[in-house]
Structure 1
Amino acid sequence: MRLAVALAALLLAASVQAVTLPPLERAIAYRSILRTGNTAGKSPWRFGQVLNKAGLPVFEVDESGNPTEEPRVSNNPDFSSLIETTGPFGARKLYLITHFEAPAPSVQYVVELGQAPDGTLTPRNMKPVDWSALGGLWNPAPGSAPPGAPTWGARSTSRMPAPSPRPPTWPASRPRWTPAAATARWRDTWPYWDVYPADITLDLIKQKFNPYKYGHIHETRVDFKGNVNTFKWYTMGRLAFEMAYVLPDKKTVYLTDDGTNVGFYKFVATKAGDMSAGTLFAAKFTQTDATNGGSFTTQWIQLGSGVNKDLRALALNTTFADIFETASWTDGTGCPPGFTSVNEGGRAVQCLKLKPGMDTAAAFLETRRSAGYKGATTVFSKWEGITFDPKRKQLYTSMTSIRYGMEDNKKKGVASTTYDKGGNNDVKLPYNPCDCVFKLALDASNSATTMQAMFCGAVAAPCDPEDPTCNPLDTCDVNAISSPDNLSFMPEFDTLVVGEDTSDHQNDVMWSYSLANGTLDRIFSTPYGSEVTGTYWYPNIGGSSYLMAVIQHPYGESDQDHVTDPESTGPEAWVGYFTWKTVAKPTGLKFEPITPSMTDEEKNSPRWTPKVTLYRADRTPAPLRRPARGLLQRWF
């Protein structure tokens, strides 16, 4: 009897001891879902094929500005979200939604995916999204899948840059645009309305183009059957939006602004999960330190409150002249009495007077001007990605470079007052073309209170002609970030993923940054002339984890001559991902880093980390239940 009791006690004691789980090593690779120009299933369309308002193909243009017989296909995919939907009896379907950054208006495709047991994603079918009822999709950029996206079947993205509300003019002697006179953007824009450059006139522009219809956050929803609904949220203002990130409260949305002399914004919805009504704010920064990218305190200025349907009516029936009266700036005296100076958007100083009763129109249709008018900070340069760390309750965000209005009355290190004239000059930092990733602390109401640089890029040392590993085109240090763009946070692993959009690294890179130990590892390198976009983390879809990565416009921004190299991988873009089986109770990860791309073969190809090591918490098994009374006696 005593032996039996002792044996039971030993079993109970052993059962509650923690079991140390060894790290898991997983071989991984970059897997492509689609390259631009590909087809999927029985779809008649090619991935990225540009369509006009009627859903018909847009064609390339000849030297005379007339259409050719070659359909236009965009090599500019950007945010590519994975949306998991649920149907009858718990059936699942997985969709990919990809929008293309250019041309403007652009295109968006929904792709039905198959998912294999090892996580491999295969395109089954594909269709374009119809945005014609909302005037087309203007220059969409990165995006986010809001919390609860599988429930909403939705994700929000952004539109950049917002077109100017001032109509273009040219001499009466040139009533038509010739191909030489039309900019590349406008040449690409008008075929959406089935008007090619050879036929563009000022009357057509006035008739068809209302700039206040563009520059707003949009949302795309897909259900189990593949039905798609589109929304445009005028409630979040009108900017050169780069990113809209919804916090877990499903009310607070942080908004970054891409361009020169831009700001930072926050939208708070009236009701959680409903973006159709709420209040818009702009940030006022006070600098407290200028070292290592700077530190700031943050205050929020309310711009206005509105309801989407009312704001849409304003956008359709309002002109710039209805909102502001303008005057000229005079050096030495500034704006005339009654006018306020604003310096935003790289347009230099402007003198504005808000017309009576137009506060709401200014807040939501001229958001950046309204912010500057009310004293918010509009000096930042290309504010890019943003993501959220729930454990530390802080945001991580990036900018392309510290320049222009962010410098203290300088432009690229040369004395200049252009970008600070008439503005607040709130930011005074040393020029850094390689820029930084910043963190913003949030208070209990999810409002950012401080901002501080976390880590920055650095200008590379001059190249030694005798050093074969030194590339003079890498003007930023290859072992640090350069022009950080898309960000995504992996909270389970305390890891921040950073994608570059840079001209200061010849090959753009995706980095993994460990918050636990501050290490930065290169995990992905893209071919000549491309950038990393669509960086986004999905911790568990059907038992697999996915880190998305898009290779946009290979050979498109630089090194165009290399597209004919024997090692060339072609100008078609990639939409792809890394995947591994989801693990329980992860504590961290470590990607095996890769070296910089050095040879022609490496610079022509995507290169990626071959392995990830996943760390897990110790497992404490549940203790054995004490046997029922009398059971041991019966056993023994």
Structure 2
Amino acid sequence: MHSRNDARFKLSALAIATSLALTACGGDSDHNDVGGGETPQMQRLTRIATLPLGSEATGLFLKDDGEVFTNIQHPSDANTTVDAEGNIYKFATVGVIEGADVRKPFTAVSVPETPEEKQVMRVALGRYNVLGQQGDAWAGAPQPSLGGIAVANGQALIKVSNDPDFNGWVPVSEDEGYLFTNWEDRPGGMSRLHLIRDGEGRWVVRDNDATMVDFSSVNGTWVNCFGTVSPWNTPLTSEELYFDDTIEWNSPGEGGVQDLADYLAGEINSDYDAAYPNPYDYGYIVEITDPTGTPTPVKHFSLGRYSHENSVVMPDQKTVYMSDDGSGVILFKFIADTAGDLSSGTLYAAKVKQDTVPMDAAQVGFDIEWVELASGNNAEIQSWVDEYDGITAADYVEGENSYISEQQINDWAEAKLNQDLDNSGSVAANPFGDDRVAFLESRKAAVKLGATGEFNKMEGININLKRARNGVEGDGPQAYVYVAMSDISGKMTDSNGLVQLTNEDTHCGGVFRMPLEAGYNVSRLEMVELGGPYKPDDAANTCSVEGLASPDNVAVMEDGRVLIGEDTSHHENNMVWLLDPNG
């Protein structure tokens, strides 16, 4: 078990007695508010949980038994209310909704009203079990604490993150497994908790088996965001680069780069230039191999470099769909050369055609055409990355690019298409003689080749493996790839380009889906649930509390329903929802 030596974590005798009594009789603890005694009436949207003030819902992962991992990211440090189990939610929290099956009917949790309700985690069913909070330490843990991000040699602590994100569950048995949790920071991190179920049916951290994953072999990570577990049971963590233009990477004083330099150097406030990070080392999908042994990271350069929010592998173990977070972003696809091996294959980007232009976002649909960028493998791409080692802030010249320039990207695309894209009067030769541009500057390369770079805040993308396989390879119902967009604005709502959406509810974001076809291809993207309604005069909840606001991570049930976690300032308390697309 992890230890907390602060008095704030101690349960009062009354709280313990109340909690045990409720557990013994099968009732809900008092941070569950389900409108006692009512028969559950499931709606199209049913509220599963409300989160403490200041926090967002991250890390949604649906276990096979219907329990749900979900985290509390960066809650307000003004949260002081103690719940019935002795938890205070002013610290980032990794947890699980346990003791109930979210797949079965339940009554929605209410919207919090009192100051005390707003400061705690409230769930509609079961109980929320706090597995750990930022800074918790376990006996024998080699890293300083949960969320602690140390330098590469482990000798100094850079920070303790308060941003847990993706949860990936790798089961060993019905009552044992490993929980991998991203820590979305610069440098990034990932924890692994070895969980067992105790005699009371609660998940606990096994003594001396909690650690932070060692990323030193891949030069560290950057902003580990959402993720999935592959069909072969390895966690896939996403590096959300959020650094779209390398021209400023080695600008003196660039935020976050000093921390990366410290990580690589093995000391705080290191010589900035001596261990200067290479930008092309970051912005990939990282697979954690040997997850139940010695977790070992492998960066898959082959899947492209951009602001990865998430990747999801189809049941064929070759086709991968990937979301790109930020402004003016792209939907990507990858097809591996070999099933179960993401180290080599072909990268594609989506070119979309909107049904009508402009169009109401609530009914919008797009046809998808896939633009091939290039084929490559990790080893070859790694050799291209290494060519940019040793560039430091001393090489920075304002207005010039120390890395791959816009002109080089244009010239690569001209050579590939045999077209004069910049109206220079001639078609340029490939400046590299290879396809490094496709993998190291994937977003810009895709746009140059004709893909649509107009999406905004493309978040979690996911499937249900069993439903997807049955829907494509068997006689099961239609299966979909779901993708959330938390803020439908910018290039999605302007009057230019291929994407032009109308409806003020776009401020609240929405969830889209793509029907899976033969061969796990998709050729259609359509809105399934627009957020809102938008209520600009409501200062606390500018999006209705009866609808979505800034949907972020998603998980899909075998019956086709969808779990959705929010990352929003449009709700006073972020929420976790269950969406029934047929409701």
Shared fold per TM-score greater than 0.5: yes
Identify which of 373, 381, 387 aligns with 2:462. 387
CA contact (8 A) 1:395 1:439 kept: yes
CA deviation profile, 1:227-278 (whole Å, cap 9, x unmatched)? 2221110110101000000111111110000000000000011111111111
- The structure-2 alpha-carbon separation of the partners of 1:338 and 1:321, relative to structure 1 and needing over 3 Å to count, comes to farther
Does residue 1:434 correspond to 2:505, yes or no?
Answer: no
Letter aligned with residue 374 of structure 2: G
Amino acid at match of 2:549: S
Following superposition, the deviation at residue 193 of structure 1 comes to 3.4
Q: Give the structure 2 partner of residue 568 of structure 1.
A: none
Deviations, residues 391-432 of structure 1 (Å, cap 9, x unaligned): 4221111101111111233xxxxxxxxxx5xxxx11011252
Q: Does residue 113 of the first structure (1) align with residue 195 of the second (2)?
A: yes
1:287 matched to 2:354? The reply is yes
Displacement after TM superposition at 1:504 (Å): 1.2
> 2: CA distance between counterparts of 1:279 and 1:472?
47
Partner-residue secondary structure (3-state), 1:136 = coil
Deviation at 1:169, TM superposition (A): 6.1
1:138 aligns with 2:251: no
- The runs of 5 or more residues in structure 2 that have no matched partner are 1-103, 107-123, 390-400, 411-418, 469-476
Structure 2 vs 1, CA of residues 24 and 140 (structure 1 numbering), >3 Å: closer, same or farther?
closer
Establish whether residue 450 from structure 1 lines up as the match of residue 536 from structure 2: no
Cα distance change of structure 1 residues 166 and 448 upon mapping to structure 2, 3 Å threshold: same
What aligned pairs does 1:448-487 form with structure 2 within 5 A after superposition?
448-461=522-535, 463=537, 471-487=538-554
1:401 matched to which residue of 2? 487
Partner of 1:488: 555
Aligned pair partner of 1:165 in 239, 246, 268: 246
CA pair 400-354 structure 1, distance change in 2 beyond 3 A: farther
Taking a change above 3 Å as real, the CA distance of residues 300 and 462 of structure 1, as seen in their structure-2 partners, is closer
Structure 1, unmatched stretches of 5+, are: 1-22, 60-71, 171-175, 330-336, 342-351, 410-419, 464-470, 518-636
Q: Is the CA contact 1:304–1:359 (under 8 Å) kept in the aligned structure 2?
A: no
Query: Within the alignment, does 1:305 sit opposite 2:366 as a pair?
Result: no
The question of whether the paired residues in 2 share the 8 Å contact of 1:235 and 1:308 is answered with yes
Q: Contact 1:340 / 1:353 at 8 angstroms: preserved in 2?
A: no
CA distance in 1, matches of 2:489, 2:105: 43
Deviates more, 1:31-40 or 1:41-50: 41-50
Q: State how 1:122-137 maps to structure 2 within 5 Å.
A: 122-124=204-206, 125-137=209-221
Quote the offset at 1:40 in angstroms: 2.6
Secondary structure at the residue paired with 1:208? coil
Pairwise CA distance, 1:481: 0.5
Determine which of 251, 262, 280 is the counterpart of 1:191: 262
Per the TM alignment, residue 117 of structure 1 is displaced from its structure 2 partner at its CA by: 5.7
Q: Which residue matches 1:82?
A: 169
Distance across 1 between alignment mates of 2:518 and 2:349: 19
Cα shift at 1:223: 4.9
Counting only pairs closer than 5 Å after superposition, residues 41-440 of structure 1 correspond to structure 2 as 41-43=139-141, 45-59=144-158, 72-85=159-172, 93-102=176-185, 104-116=186-198, 119-124=201-206, 125-149=209-233, 154-163=234-243, 164-168=245-249, 177=253, 183=255, 185-186=256-257, 188-194=259-265, 201=272, 203-204=273-274, 208-224=276-292, 226-289=293-356, 290-293=359-362, 294-318=364-388, 323-324=404-405, 326=407, 338-340=420-422, 355-358=430-433, 360-389=435-464, 390=468, 391-409=477-495, 425-430=497-502, 432-440=506-514
User: Is the 1:325–1:354 Cα contact (8 Å) retained in structure 2?
Assistant: no
Secondary structure at the residue paired with 1:212?
Answer: helix
Higher strand share: 1
**CA separation of 1:277/1:504 partners in 2, compared to 1, >3 Å: closer, same or farther?**
same
In structure 1, what is the Cα distance between the partners aligned to 2:437 and 2:429? 8
Aligned equivalents of 1:322, 1:73: Cα separation in 2: 32
Cα separation, 1, equivalents of 2:460 and 2:383: 30
List per-residue Cα deviations over 1:21-70 (Å, max 9, x = no partner): xx8879511111111111234325311112001112325xxxxxxxxxxx
**Given the superposition, is the C-alpha separation of residues 359 and 380 from structure 1 closer, same or farther in structure 2, using an over 3 Å criterion?**
farther
Query: What secondary structure, in the 3-state scheme, does the structure 2 residue paired with 1:510 have?
Result: strand
Whether the aligned pair in 2 keeps the contact of 1:241 and 1:255 (CA below 8 Å) is yes
Partner of 1:445, secondary structure, is: helix
Q: Do the aligned residues in 1 keep the contact of 2:151 with 2:266 (CA within 8 Å)?
A: no
Residue 35 of structure 1: aligned partner: 133
The Cα of 1:199 is off from its aligned counterpart by 6.1
Per the TM alignment, residue 321 of structure 1 is displaced from its structure 2 partner at its CA by 6.6
Equivalences, count: 421
Return the letter of the residue paired with 1:106: G
Q: Secondary structure at the match of 1:133?
A: helix
Among 493, 509, 522, which residue is 2:575 paired with?
A: 509
Task: Tell me how far apart the structure 2 counterparts of residues 261 and 159 of structure 1 sit (CA, whole Å).
Answer: 18
Residues in 2 aligned to 1:440 and 1:234: alpha-carbon distance in whole angstroms = 25
Secondary structure of 2:137's partner? coil
CA distance in 2, matches of 1:478, 1:257: 27
How far 1:374 sits from its partner (Å)? 0.3
How far does residue 74 in structure 1 lie from its aligned partner after superposition? 0.9
Decide whether aligned partners of structure 1 residues 34 and 215 sit closer, same or farther in structure 2, where only a CA change above 3 A counts.
same
In 2, Cα distance between equivalents of 1:220 and 1:121: 23
- How far apart are the structure 2 equivalents of 1:97 and 1:214? 20
Offset from partner CA, 1:338-365 (integer Å, 9 cap, x none):
4449xxxxxxxxxx97734455111111
Which residue identity does 2:387 align to in structure 1?
N
2:75 counterpart residue number: none
Structure 2 contact 230–312 (Cα < 8 Å) conserved = yes
Alpha-carbon distance between aligned partners in 2 of 1:356 and 1:194, rounded to the nearest angstrom: 33
Q: Give 1:189 shift.
A: 3.7
CA–CA separation in structure 2 for the residues paired with 1:39 and 1:239: 34
What secondary structure, in the 3-state scheme, does the structure 2 residue paired with 1:392 have? coil
Greater shift in the superposed pair: 449-458 or 93-102: 93-102
Q: Is the 8 A contact 1:216 1:238 kept in 2?
A: yes
Displacement after TM superposition at 1:121 (Å): 1.2
Counterpart-to-counterpart distance in 1, 2:387 and 2:530: 45
What is the deviation of 1:116?
A: 3.0
Report percent identity of matched pairs. 29
Q: CA deviation at 1:197?
A: 8.6
Q: 1:198 to 1:387 in 2, by over 3 A?
A: closer
TM-score, normalised relative to structure 1: 0.61
Q: Corresponding residue for 2:76?
A: none
Root-mean-square deviation over aligned CA pairs: 2.9
Distance 1:474 1:442, change over 3 A: same
Aligned-partner Cα distance in 1 for 2:269–2:141: 32
Distance 1:111 1:157 in 2: 16
Shift of 1:291: 1.9
**Structure 1 CA distance, aligned partners of 2:141 and 2:180?**
15
Distance 1:74 1:399, change over 3 A: same
C-alpha spacing 1:428/1:157, structure 2 compared with 1 (3 Å): same
